[in-house]
Amino acid sequence: MAHEITQPLPLEVLKSVESLGGRIRIARLRRRLNMDELAKACGIGRRTLYRIENGEPGVAIGFTLAVLWKLGLLDTVRAVADPDDDEHGKILEAARRPQRVRARAPDNDF
Protein backbone atom coordinates (compact mmCIF):
# COMPACT_ATOMS: atom_id res chain seq x y z
CA MET A 1 0.00 0.00 0.00
CA ALA A 2 1.37 3.41 -0.93
CA HIS A 3 1.81 6.01 1.78
CA GLU A 4 -0.15 9.20 1.39
CA ILE A 5 1.68 12.50 1.64
CA THR A 6 -0.07 14.50 4.35
CA GLN A 7 1.59 17.79 3.47
CA PRO A 8 2.54 18.90 -0.01
CA LEU A 9 6.25 18.91 -0.66
CA PRO A 10 7.99 22.25 -1.15
CA LEU A 11 8.00 23.45 -4.75
CA GLU A 12 11.81 23.38 -4.84
CA VAL A 13 11.76 19.69 -3.91
CA LEU A 14 9.17 18.84 -6.55
CA LYS A 15 11.14 20.70 -9.21
CA SER A 16 14.36 18.92 -8.23
CA VAL A 17 12.74 15.50 -8.42
CA GLU A 18 11.22 16.37 -11.78
CA SER A 19 14.55 17.66 -13.07
CA LEU A 20 16.38 14.52 -11.92
CA GLY A 21 13.81 12.35 -13.67
CA GLY A 22 14.27 14.27 -16.88
CA ARG A 23 18.03 13.90 -16.69
CA ILE A 24 17.67 10.16 -16.11
CA ARG A 25 15.42 9.91 -19.17
CA ILE A 26 17.97 11.76 -21.32
CA ALA A 27 20.74 9.43 -20.09
CA ARG A 28 18.62 6.37 -20.94
CA LEU A 29 17.84 7.68 -24.41
CA ARG A 30 21.49 8.54 -25.09
CA ARG A 31 22.36 4.93 -24.28
CA ARG A 32 19.59 3.78 -26.63
CA LEU A 33 17.90 1.76 -23.92
CA ASN A 34 14.17 1.34 -23.94
CA MET A 35 12.25 1.48 -20.68
CA ASP A 36 11.70 -2.28 -20.53
CA GLU A 37 15.42 -3.03 -20.91
CA LEU A 38 16.52 -0.58 -18.26
CA ALA A 39 13.78 -1.51 -15.81
CA LYS A 40 14.59 -5.21 -16.13
CA ALA A 41 18.33 -4.56 -15.71
CA CYS A 42 17.60 -2.62 -12.50
CA GLY A 43 15.19 -5.19 -11.10
CA ILE A 44 12.26 -2.77 -11.10
CA GLY A 45 9.03 -2.58 -13.03
CA ARG A 46 8.53 -0.47 -16.14
CA ARG A 47 5.92 1.57 -14.24
CA THR A 48 8.46 2.42 -11.53
CA LEU A 49 10.95 3.61 -14.13
CA TYR A 50 8.20 5.66 -15.75
CA ARG A 51 7.46 7.27 -12.37
CA ILE A 52 11.16 8.04 -11.81
CA GLU A 53 11.51 9.67 -15.22
CA ASN A 54 8.35 11.70 -14.69
CA GLY A 55 9.61 13.06 -11.39
CA GLU A 56 7.06 11.48 -9.08
CA PRO A 57 8.36 12.12 -5.55
CA GLY A 58 6.93 8.94 -4.01
CA VAL A 59 9.41 6.58 -5.68
CA ALA A 60 11.87 4.99 -3.25
CA ILE A 61 15.32 6.53 -3.48
CA GLY A 62 16.85 3.06 -3.73
CA PHE A 63 15.11 2.48 -7.05
CA THR A 64 16.36 5.81 -8.38
CA LEU A 65 19.90 4.99 -7.26
CA ALA A 66 19.66 1.57 -8.93
CA VAL A 67 18.76 3.26 -12.21
CA LEU A 68 21.65 5.72 -11.85
CA TRP A 69 23.98 2.80 -11.13
CA LYS A 70 22.88 0.92 -14.23
CA LEU A 71 23.37 4.07 -16.32
CA GLY A 72 26.89 4.48 -14.89
CA LEU A 73 25.97 7.69 -13.10
CA LEU A 74 26.02 6.59 -9.47
CA ASP A 75 29.27 8.46 -8.82
CA THR A 76 27.46 11.72 -9.56
CA VAL A 77 25.39 11.20 -6.41
CA ARG A 78 28.37 11.00 -4.06
CA ALA A 79 28.58 14.77 -3.74
CA VAL A 80 25.00 15.00 -2.47
CA ALA A 81 24.97 16.08 1.18
CA ASP A 82 28.75 15.67 1.45
CA PRO A 83 29.69 16.76 4.99
CA ASP A 84 32.84 18.42 3.66
CA ASP A 85 30.70 20.73 1.49
CA ASP A 86 28.21 21.55 4.28
CA GLU A 87 29.34 25.07 5.15
CA HIS A 88 26.22 25.83 7.21
CA GLY A 89 26.67 22.64 9.25
CA LYS A 90 30.33 23.43 9.84
CA ILE A 91 29.42 26.89 11.17
CA LEU A 92 26.83 25.41 13.55
CA GLU A 93 29.30 22.80 14.76
CA ALA A 94 31.97 25.44 15.37
CA ALA A 95 29.50 27.56 17.35
CA ARG A 96 28.88 24.66 19.75
CA ARG A 97 32.57 24.15 20.52
CA PRO A 98 33.80 25.41 23.88
CA GLN A 99 35.07 28.98 23.63
CA ARG A 100 38.04 28.36 25.89
CA VAL A 101 40.00 25.39 26.97
CA ARG A 102 40.95 24.97 30.60
CA ALA A 103 44.60 24.52 31.32
CA ARG A 104 45.57 21.19 32.76
CA ALA A 105 46.43 21.13 36.44
CA PRO A 106 50.18 20.96 36.99
CA ASP A 107 51.56 17.52 37.64
CA ASN A 108 52.66 17.52 41.30
CA ASP A 109 54.19 14.06 41.42
CA PHE A 110 57.55 14.23 43.21
Determine if residue 43 is left, alpha or beta; phi over 0 gives left, psi from -120 to 50 gives alpha, anything else beta.
left
Range of the structural domain that residue 70 is part of: 11-76
In a domain? residue 66: yes
The residue type at 88 = H
Domain count for the chain, please give it.
1
Using alpha carbons only, give the angle 16, 22, 28 rounded to the nearest 5 degrees: 135
Q: What is the pTM of this model?
A: 0.77
Alpha carbon of residue 73 to chain centroid = 13
CB 13 within 8 A of CB 55: no
Quick: pLDDT tens for 27-68: 999 999 999 999 999 999 999 999 999 999 999 999 999 999
Domain with residue 16: its CATH number is 1.10.260.40
Quick: pLDDT tens for 52-110: 999 999 999 999 999 999 999 999 999 899 999 999 999 999 999 887 767 777 777 76
CB 17 within 8 A of CB 57: yes
